[in-house]
Amino acid sequence: MVQITFVQPDGSRTTIDANEGASVMEAAVSNGIDGIFAECGGAMMCATCHCYVDDDWRDKTGERADGEEIMLECAAAELRETSRLSCQIRLTGALDGLVVHLPDEQA
């Protein structure tokens, strides 16, 4: 298990335990985190799972996936350097403690 903390736009934080191998999106959805809609179920087709990776974790979460960029352009909220589609971040042991910030809108 690895821990992930989700930070809402108002600053409130929720920490959950998630299985390695799951995506950050899947972990959020199965724990009922507000602000991750994930309407396409991880197919990289909806951009409603947009999140901002905390600066301290950017190296560990790695590069955007092939094709992720163009879908991120379609996200509702502002696009930043740290923007990722949470369905494209796979959880590994190295991501234990990961912090991601949620945008103010998804759809």
Partner 1 sequence: MAVAPVDETLTLAELTRDPYPIYKRMRAETPIVQVPAANRIFLTKAKHTKMVKDDPELYSSDDPVTPMRRAFLAHTLMRKDGEEHRRERMAMQPAFSPKVIKTDWADLYRKIAAEYLDRLPRGETVDLFTGLCGPVAARILAHILGLDEVSDADMQRWSQVLIDGAGNFGFADEPFARSDAANAEMDAVFDSLIPRHMAEPNNSAFSVMLNAKDPIPRSQIYANIKIAIGGGINEPRDALATIIYGLLTNPDQLEEVKRQEAWADAFEEGVRWVAPIQASSRRATRDLQIDGIDIPEGVTLMTIQASANRDEDLYEDGEAFNVFRKKAPHQAFGSGPHHCAGAHISRRTVGEIMLPMLFERFPGIKLDRPEDVVWSGFGFRGPLNLPVKLT
Query: Which residues contact partner 1 by CB under 8 A?
Result: 37, 39-43, 45-47, 67, 70-71, 73-76, 107
Greatest CA separation for the chain? 32
E runs forming strands in 19-105: 50-53, 83-85, 98-101
Question: In angstroms, what is the minimal distance from the CB of 18 to ligand FES?
Answer: 16
Which lies closer to ligand FES via its Cβ, residue 40 or residue 99?
A: 40
d(CA 75, CA 77): 6
Which of partner 1, ligand FES, none binds 85 (CB below 5-8 Å, type-dependent)? ligand FES
Residue placing its CB nearer to ligand FES in the complex, 38 or 95: 38
d(CA 41, CA 25): 9
